[in-house]
Structure 1
Amino acid sequence: MSRSFGKDTSSIRQEIKLYEQMIADGSHDVNPLYPPLTRLIELLSGSIQHNDSAAIDIKRLKTQLEEMNRSLELATHIDPLTGLANRRDIMKKVEQEHSRAQRHQRTYSLILVDIDSFKRINESYGINCGDDVLFEISCVLRECVRSEDICSRWGGEEFLFLLPETGIDGAVSVARKINTSIEMTTFKVNRPGIKVTASLGVCEYKSGDSFIDSVKRVEQAMLLAKVNGRNRYEIAA
């Protein structure tokens, strides 16, 4: 639309120059065309200003629409509190990685992290403080994995990791790092600070399983870590 306006205003400007030249070439006193040509020039000049303004408005609206579309696209993939991938996005990526592992005889691992006794934090300090802790935990978790690994907020106080091309030994190493990093961090959202621990489940892709089976196995392993005392990891059967 702005291109069309550009062509229109260029044509109008040429017409104005032509009329101005006609007036300049004639006698203003005796040329009967002078008054209507003068009025026409004024009208055409106003038309140019209107078109230029409309073109600017349309360009601005187009930019705003593109920004809104980008925000909407991000909202379908990103958890708004932590900035991590959300449950929908990680499920899609696990399914894709599972298909790739099946096709190419590769492997991957999952780690599910659940913050121990998190309900107590919300009850003692308030939900806003709990949200601050979750955000700081997400920052700690990001530092525990490679750039090609995917960390997501699975829901509530749970976080799910997808580790492509990683066997169980590599996944266990990451799980230990996560356990230690969380336990050693003081989350300074309230004085004197809050200490938390986490229970983890770890599983490696198993040939013949569906990606849903992998998710169920890592959930069961995490629950076993809870039963066995918390602040630890368990490997899925």
Structure 2
Amino acid sequence: MSFGKIAPFRSRLLPMPECPRHACNEDELVTQVQALLADPVHQANPLREPLAHLLACNQVHQAQLHRLIRISDGYQYISRRQQENLEQQYERQLHRLEKIARISDRYQNSLRELSETLKQASLHDPLTSLGNRRFLMERLTQETERANRKASPYTLAILDVDRFKTVNDRFGHEAGDTVLCSIANAIADALREYDVCGRWGGEEFLILMPETPLDFALQIAQRVTQSIKAIRFEFLDTRISASVGLSTYCLGERFSDTLNRADAALLRAKVDGRDRIEA
């Protein structure tokens, strides 16, 4: 047996210091191994070379492990940054979309308001604020359909301001505009709530009286002309008057026929001396 040869070998090894349990760590163990390999006493020890090789391999593996750890940490850092960037991008995009939605809502509201404003402007006379000719034509169409459906005729009145051209020629168009605005207000105040009044053109006004027979429409026209005569202007030494032509709608006819009869009645009133109501 070879036990007698092992004893001298063991006597040449320095005893390994004991590490208390839970006290030694890897760095301390490496330091101890390095100290043993550096000790000249162990230069001839046959385990020195394998131990040195093992230590070198361990150092290589440790370096590779640290490199892998750094790479892993780097990937995790990049992943976190990417995730944060995605979240930030999402938040920015969400805020942008919310802003666009708010702008779109405001834009649509503005368009609706502008559309309504333009519609009102297209249907009203800018001087008197009464309905214009287009407005009156639409109301005539509607009222004609309703009159035929309910078998209840309406009456039209075309009113023309007497000698209005003289006012413009003597006092200018600004004075003429003042007269027209005052007459428009007087007409509106003298009518019933459901009557329709508008500026037909120039110094002419059209009055639409729904479901109104001719005799009652005549009373309303007289009230309107009296209201116009009551207006006073500082620059005029005479009262303003108006001539009126009346016509009642005949069921089934075109409203243009009713307008033509009212216009003809107005012409008779002008020819017969003005400041008159003809039907």
Task: Bin the TM-score by the shorter chain.
Answer: 0.7 to 0.9
Q: List aligned pairs for 1:129-140, cutoff 5 A.
A: 129-140=175-186
Gaps of 5+ in 1: 1-27
Matched residues in 2 for 1:226 and 1:42: separation? 80
Partner of 1:94: 140
Greater gyration radius: 2
Structure-2 separation of matches of 1:185 and 1:221: 25
Any idea what the Cα deviations from partners look like across 1:116-157, whole Å, max 9, x if unmatched?
111222223332332232222211111111111111111111
Among candidates 113, 120, 124, match of residue 166 of structure 2: 120
Q: Which gives a bigger RCO, structure 1 or 2 (Cα 8 Å, sep 6+)?
A: 1
1:199 aligns with 2:240: no
Q: Does 1:144 align with 2:190?
A: yes
The equivalences for 1:162-181 within 5 A come to 162-181=208-227
CA contact (8 A) 2:182 2:231 kept: no
Change (3 A) 1:131 1:52: same
Structure 1 Cα separation of the partners of residues 221 and 80 of structure 2: 87
Moved more, 33-42 or 62-71: 33-42
**Do 2:244 and 2:266's aligned partners in 1 also have CA atoms closer than 8 Å?**
yes
Q: Provide the rounded CA distance (Å) in 2 between the counterparts of 1:148 and 1:185.
A: 24
Relative to structure 2, which stretch is displaced further, 69-78 or 146-155?
69-78
1:52 to 98, 106, 110: 98
Alignment CA distance shift 1:46-1:209 (3 Å):
closer
Normalising by structure 1, we get a TM-score of 0.76
Cα distance, 1:100 vs structure 2 = 3.7
Q: 3-state DSSP class of the match of 1:201?
A: strand
Greater percentage in strand: 1
CA distance in 2, matches of 1:30, 1:208: 87
Cross-structure match for 2:269: 225
Query: Which aligned pairs between 1:40-79 and structure 2 lie closer than 5 A?
Result: 40-79=86-125
Find the aligned partners of 2:103 and 2:136 in 1 and give their Cα distance: 39
Aligned pair count reads: 206
User: What is the CA-CA distance between 1:194 and the residue it aligns to?
Assistant: 7.9
Greater CA drift, 57-66 or 67-76: 67-76
* Aligned counterpart, 1:36: 82
CA distance in 1, matches of 2:251, 2:82: 86
Displacement of 1:103? 4.5
**TM-score calculated relative to the size of structure 2:** 0.65
Q: Tell me how far apart the structure 2 counterparts of residues 149 and 107 of structure 1 sit (CA, whole Å).
A: 14
2:123 alignment partner, SS class: coil
Q: Deviations over 1:14-66 (max 9, x none)?
A: xxxxxxxxxxxxxx999513433444444333323322221121111111111
RMSD: 2.6
Structure 1 stretch displaced more, 99-108 or 52-61: 99-108
Partner of 1:3: none
Alignment partner, residue 14 of structure 1: none
Letter in 1 for 2:213: G
Unaligned runs of 5+ in 2: 1-72
Distance, in Å, in 2 between the alignment partners of 1:124 and 1:224 is: 26
**Sequence identity (%):** 35
Identify the residue that residue 254 of structure 2 maps to in structure 1: 210
Rounded to whole Å, the distance in 1 between the matches of 2:251 and 2:98 is 64
Which residue does the alignment assign to 1:110? 156
In 1, Cα distance between equivalents of 2:254 and 2:90: 69
